[in-house]
Amino acid sequence: MATTINQEIDARGSFCPGPLMEMIRAIRESSVGQTVAVLSKDPGSRTDIPAWVAKARHEMVAIEDLDGYTRFVVTKAR
């Protein structure tokens, strides 16, 4: 079953650390169990978003490499 995305943020125009900050804000404003997707062109996001997700103990649902950008899908776990 595909995960329902509750909010998708296009942070492709945003430079480091913008996409990570967008992810943190969106997860903070979500309810537990909700899922957020962030689109990023920042290569740093590739390591930073998973590192933050692990540290903040949420769930990294998917990291999808698309056409020149990456889509990070995270579910708020707590």
Partner 1 sequence: MSEQTQQKMAIVLFSGTADKLQAAVTIISGAAAMGVSTHVFLTFWGLAAFRRDMAGVPAPMSPEYGELGVQMGKLMQTKGVPAWRDVLDMAIDVGEVHVHACAMTADLLELGKDDLDPVVEDLIGVGSFVEMTRDAQTFFI
Site for partner 1 in 4-63 (CB under 8 A): 13-18, 20-21, 24-25, 28, 48, 51-52, 55-56
Name the E strands within 1-78: 7-10, 35-40, 59-65, 70-75
Q: Is the bond preceding 17 in cis, omega lying within 30 degrees of 0?
A: yes
Residue 78 interacts with partner 1 (CB under 8 A): yes or no: no
Phi/psi for 63 (5° steps) reads: -130, 105
CB of 27 to partner 1, least distance (A): 10
Catalytic positions, written as ranges: 16
Chain positions contacting partner 1, by CB under 8 A: 13-18, 20-21, 24-25, 28, 48, 51-52, 55-56
